[in-house]
Amino acid sequence: MTSRKYLVIGYVTSDALPSVTPEDARKLTHINIAFGHVKDSRVTVANTKNLDMVSKLRDYNPNLGILLSIGGWSAGGFSEAASTAEGRKTFARTAVEILNDAGLDGIDVDWEYPCYGEAGIAASPNDKQTFTLLLKELRKALDEQGAKDNRHYLLTIATGADQYYIDGTEMDQVQKYLDWVQLMTYDMRGGFQILTGHHTNLYTPTGDLFRISVDASVNMFINAGVPREKIIIGGAFYSRMWKNVPNRNNGLYQMSPGSGGYGPVYTELAANYINKNGFVRYWDDEARAPYLFDGSTFITYEDEESLRAKCEYVKQENLKGIMFWEYSCDQTGTLLNTIHNSL
């Protein structure tokens, strides 16, 4: 779909599709529309809005690849569909029907996560094997359709960033069916931890009990059998925030009373938080990540400096590219411009 060396992939919620500007569409190589869902083994877009925007997006950028992302946090139905041959066939068939109807270029599977029910979805130890079989069936169905249409349809996944995801999947098998693998290297800290820290840091810094970072994640997936040229890393257009944080070390690596909930999106950070209203921006050179602290509220986020570092890393490590969640979180255009200019 694209001649650009590195991919720049934006997740865009279906609500936000009409807000994609022609200029931004030209800065992206692919859009993942979030989300389709799984109901009774069938892929459905009953709750997915604005699919009629697909042709307009192509007018903006004829080379833009547009995929339907199926799933998301707390979106279930995968484990049940994957558990039987019949379910997998139904999943694949209905996904291809939607691809045809909407005129899409591929399917992105965002099952969060095989073998884990933390998001309130069904899970089974068998997911480890049936996830592979589900993607194999989907690849087959996409290839059959592609043979009719004389083209290649894309199949991608979004993955958790840490060891748990590797343990719950057969990545060396899974990757064979995929065009690329998108590591969700954000939310690496937050909802499950009361210890403050970076949620989308490039490197693992000294002094952090949680040893996950973009670099650590990339190495885990390479060691699990995913070729580096298929790896996409993730950037965050939103923040994570802890309150009532002890006023030590500028709030970094401090125990707070509650876990790190979602903080302001970048539009709001730029308007009201970054070096404003008592919040001071700090830079962790070891982690290659910025953070904000006002004496009691700690915010971890992504900015131009951290994204430039991630783009350099993509080039240096010969990775496939970068993706981000989520387009509408930055209405200033700053972060997408930074990625575009850096790659």
Give the pLDDT mean for 5-13: 98
Phi, psi of 293 (to 5 degrees): -150, 140
Percent of the chain with pLDDT over 70: 99
Give the pLDDT mean for 202-223: 98
Predicted local confidence at residue 231, as pLDDT: 99
Number of domains in the chain: 1
Confidence grade of residue 311 (pLDDT, cut at 50, 70, 90): very high
Judged against a pLDDT cut of 70, whether residue 302 lies above it is answered with: yes
What is each CA distance from 37 to 45, 73, 94, 168, 204, in whole angstroms?
7, 11, 11, 21, 34
Give the pLDDT mean for 241-247: 98
Would 35 be classed as within a structural domain?
A: yes
Q: What is the pLDDT of residues 142-173, one digit of tens each?
A: 999 999 999 999 999 999 999 999 999 999 99
The Cβ of residue 166 has, within 10 Å, a number of other Cβ atoms equal to: 20
State the DSSP H helix or E strand holding residue 223, giving kind and residue range, or none if neither.
Answer: helix 214-223
Coil, strand or helix: which one is 181? strand
Confidence grade of residue 1 (pLDDT, cut at 50, 70, 90): very low
Phi, psi of 107 (to 5 degrees): -125, 135
Q: What is the pLDDT of residues 53-67, one digit of tens each?
A: 999 999 999 999 999
* Full residue range of the structural domain in which residue 44 is found: 7-236+302-342
Q: Output the domain CATH number for residue 29.
A: 3.20.20.80
Would 269 be classed as within a structural domain?
A: no
Tell me the helices (H) and strands (E) count for the chain, helix number first: 11, 14
Give the pLDDT mean for 67-94: 98
The answer to whether 204 and 215 have CB atoms below 8 angstroms apart is yes
Give the pLDDT mean for 231-252: 98
**What is the CA 224 to chain-centroid distance, rounded?**
19
Would 267 be classed as within a structural domain?
A: no
Judged against a pLDDT cut of 70, whether residue 2 lies above it is answered with: no
Judged against a pLDDT cut of 80, whether residue 34 lies above it is answered with: yes
Would 169 be classed as within a structural domain?
A: yes
Give the pLDDT mean for 223-234: 98
Predicted local confidence at residue 308, as pLDDT: 98
| Sign of the dihedral defined by the CA atoms of residues 240, 244, 245, 247, in that order | positive
Q: What is the pLDDT of residues 86-134, one digit of tens each?
A: 999 999 999 999 999 999 999 999 999 999 999 999 999 999 999 999 9
Please state, rounded to an integer, the average pLDDT across all residues of the chain.
98
Q: What is the pLDDT of residues 256-296, one digit of tens each?
A: 999 999 999 999 999 999 999 999 999 999 999 999 999 99
Would 315 be classed as within a structural domain?
A: yes
Known catalytic residues are 112
How far apart, in whole angstroms, are the C-alpha atoms of residue 33 and residue 15? 9
Would 259 be classed as within a structural domain?
A: no
Predicted local confidence at residue 158, as pLDDT: 99
Would 268 be classed as within a structural domain?
A: no
What is each CA distance from 222 to 130, 217, 218, 228, in whole angstroms?
22, 9, 6, 6
Coil, strand or helix: which one is 204? coil
Judged against a pLDDT cut of 60, whether residue 240 lies above it is answered with: yes
Would 227 be classed as within a structural domain?
A: yes
Instruction: Report yes or no on whether pTM surpasses 0.95.
Output: yes
Predicted local confidence at residue 267, as pLDDT: 98
